[in-house]
Amino acid sequence: MVVYAGQGDPRRSIELLWRASAAEKRPGPKPGLSVDAIVDAAIEVADEQGMAFSMRAVGERLGRTAMALYTYVPGKNELVDLMYDRAMAEVPTSYDLGEGWRPAVTRWAHDMWECYRRHPWVLQVSQARPVLGPHEFAVTEALAAILVSTGLPGRRLRGIVGAINYFVRGAAQTVAEARAAGGATGQADEEWWYARSAVLIEVEPDLEKKFPMLHVLEQDREPVDPELPYLENDAVENFRGGLKVLLDGVEGAVAKP
Amino acid sequence: MVVYAGQGDPRRSIELLWRASAAEKRPGPKPGLSVDAIVDAAIEVADEQGMAFSMRAVGERLGRTAMALYTYVPGKNELVDLMYDRAMAEVPTSYDLGEGWRPAVTRWAHDMWECYRRHPWVLQVSQARPVLGPHEFAVTEALAAILVSTGLPGRRLRGIVGAINYFVRGAAQTVAEARAAGGATGQADEEWWYARSAVLIEVEPDLEKKFPMLHVLEQDREPVDPELPYLENDAVENFRGGLKVLLDGVEGAVAKP
DNA sequence: TGCGACTCCTTACGCCGTAAAGTAACCTTG
DNA sequence: CAAGGTTACTTTACGGCGTAAGGAGTCGCA
């Protein structure tokens, strides 16, 4: 429910993200934990329980109390930023341009999509205020490097980068939340959908007449992967179709700049 | 932090959304509140405080306790669904196709964008499991009605509808969170950005060499509206540029189906 | 050997959503 | 008109959360 955006001390946050720690000899007991260990544990917990993971849960996974984490990390906001940047580290940062920009962008989009699916909580980290970690930079740099090869000016590229980013995020969000919701309640997508739509038809029998165009949208469905649940199937189909249209638009911009 | 998605009794949720209440004569004291009044108050609170509004705050605004709300609404999840659908009611549902589909889609996108900016918390309501309220249907119906006029088959349209939706949401989210974050900490966007980037340059002086393509993206900036804060300005520019590319793609699909 | 820095713990505070139970208002029935 | 059941709303309480404050034990260095 809370929008997560780093709000604490900027210096502390940035130094943590870039691991700019002066590793001097220091007195006191040897640290039993490390920022990396905490971030790893937190990601594990978040992968299982979603963004509503708690500091207590992370501490418990490490055999410590919640308060022990505050020795390494200023607070939950900053921890989330660190988790975000670590997740971005999983995405490749170099793409072969041998076959042109389009296959490269497509691969980038798929890699991002996969990362979002492995770590759905990433989609709930604020985008407006970039986390400004090294791997977030690297990921955007990778997309920028591909698109700069089109020769388009920066002015055009910014909109395109934004559009591709928004699209991949949005498409991934649809699946991620379908899974998260299903997992939280133990209800499969189909069950959820069925229960709702059954009541809906009962309450509003004229649904198709009131919204005829939505019905047109439903025509012509073909299964993408029969293994996947209903909503997920939908999202994969939309992802492919939408990305194609989006890249067609980019192609148009490249052709006539 | 919690992903909001209606999880309670499907019947109760749907009936509330469609206001399918049997208004019979009933014993007991007269209701001092109503679902509508509660939704209105909750939207006011959420517009000010973001999605982290509390039931207690909503109750207080109505001169009641938090628990009083539970007479009208099963829980916070369901209240959020109702708020979402009420917000969607602000978006126009009919667009003139006299000049073709493209200006109409552009207007739809701008109207959605405006709605998201009035009610940033809407962007945090789960999209995977649609709320299934009447106004959410109407909004999607409006976009579908415009796009069906292109003559494209449902298969193609689904991806396009998704892409447009994701794009508008994503672009709006960028601004919304910039504002929310600024409001929460009392920091203006510029201040936040300045504090961070100053430390960043200090910690990583070779930033431009490490990520040269990002630098290309920054070239060629022109002010859109000098009244708007920095990040918001950015987002508006990206919105316009991205939407253009996206619709170019749709145009390509229409030309050669 | 002792001091100060350090890790980690316990406790506690003020939030949150909401379950449970009580009180007062009102309509229906006798 | 009185009794009883239904409803609106309150108070209280529970278990969660993030994290502030302070204390206990551990280590490097003087």
Helix axes A154-185 and A101-118, enclosed angle (nearest 10): 30
pLDDT at A211: 96
- CA distance between the termini of chain B: 43
**pLDDT score recorded for residue A188:** 59
User: B246, B247, B250, B254: best mutation site toward chain A, by most A Cβ within 10 Å?
Assistant: B246
Report the nearest residue to nucleotide C11, CA vs C1'. A67
Rg (CA), chain A: 22
Q: From the CA of A138, how many Å to the nearest CA of chain B?
A: 7
Contact B180, B229 (CB under 8 A): no
Distance from residue B74 (CA) to nucleotide D3 (C1'), in Å?
32
Least confident of A27-41, A155-169, B116-130: B116-130
Using an 8 Å Cβ cutoff, are B166 and A112 in contact? no
Kindly report which listed range (A9-18, A94-103, A175-184) carries the lowest average pLDDT score: A175-184
Residue among A5, A160, A217 whose CB faces B144 most closely: A217
Residue of A79, A83, A158 to mutate for B, most B C-beta atoms under 10 A: A158
Q: Which nucleotides of C are covered by protein (CB under 7 A)?
A: 4-11, 15-21, 24-28
Q: What is the pLDDT of residue B218?
A: 85
- Do residues B8 and B74 lie in contact, with contact meaning Cβ atoms separated by under 8 Å? yes
* Residue B237: closest CA among B251, B217, B254: B217
Instruction: Give the nearest nucleotide to A26, CA to C1'.
Output: D28
Residue ranges for chain B with pLDDT beneath 50: 1-6, 184-185
Interatomic CA distance for residues B80 and A223, integer angstroms: 33
> Burial of B153 by CB count in 10 Å (0-12 exposed, 13-18 middle, 19+ buried)?
exposed
CA(A23)–C1'(D26) in Å? 19
CA trace torsion A181, A184, A188, A190 (10° rounding): -30
Q: Quick one: pLDDT at residue A6?
A: 46
Can you tell me the distance from the alpha carbon of A112 to that of A140, in angstroms, rounded to the nearest whole number?
Answer: 11
Cα B44 to Cα A49, A142, B38, B40: the distances in Å are 31, 42, 10, 6
Write the single-letter amino acid at B125.
V
Q: Which of B42, B24, B20 is nearest to B33 (CA)?
A: B42
CA distance B211 to chain A (A): 6
Counted across chains A and B, CB pairs separated by less than 8 A come out at: 326
Q: Distance in angstroms, CA of B67 to C1' of D8?
A: 11
Partner-chain contact A2 B1, CB within 8 Å: yes
* Strand partners of residue A125: A4
Separation between the CA of A213 and the C1’ of C4 (whole angstroms): 74
Q: Are B252 and A249 in contact (CB under 8 A)?
A: yes
Q: Mind listing the domains of chain B with CATH numbers?
A: 10-20+32-88 (1.10.10.60), 101-255 (1.10.357.10)
Print burial letters for B63-78: b (CB count within 10 Å at least 16), e (below 16). ebeeebbeebbbbbbb
Phi/psi-derived region of residue B50, left when phi > 0, alpha when psi is between -120 and 50, beta in every other case: left
ipTM above 0.85, yes or no: yes
Phi/psi region, residue B186 (left: phi>0; alpha: psi -120 to 50; beta: rest), is left
Residues shown for chain B:
257
Which candidate from A7, A126, A218 shows the least CB-CB separation from B185? A7
- Say if the Cβ atoms of A129 and B181 lie within 8 Å: yes
Q: Determine, for residues A213 and B145 on separate chains, whether the beta-carbon distance falls below 8 Å.
A: yes
pLDDT confidence band for A191 (50 / 70 / 90): confident
**Residue A2: which pLDDT band, with cuts at 50, 70 and 90?**
very low
List all nucleotides in chain D with at least one atom under 7 A from a protein Cβ.
4-12, 16-22, 25-29
Cβ B79 vs Cβ B38: under 8 Å: yes
**Cβ–Cβ gap A213/B144 under 8 Å:** yes
Q: Do A127 and B173 touch (CB under 8 A)?
A: yes
Å separating the CA of residue A29 from the C1' of nucleotide D24: 13
Measure B68 CA to C23 C1' (Å): 14
Q: Do B245 and A170 touch (CB under 8 A)?
A: no
CA distances from A19 to A6, A71, A129, B177 (A): 16, 15, 20, 26
Q: Which of B200, B219, B243 to mutate to test the interface with A (most CBs of A within 10 A)?
A: B200
pLDDT at residue A165 tops 70: yes
Question: Of the ranges A12-21, A192-201, B231-240, which one carries the lowest mean pLDDT score?
Answer: B231-240
Q: What pLDDT, in 10s, does the model give residues A84-143?
A: 999 999 999 999 999 999 999 999 999 999 999 999 999 988 776 778 899 999 999 999
Contact A245 B240 (CB under 8 A): no
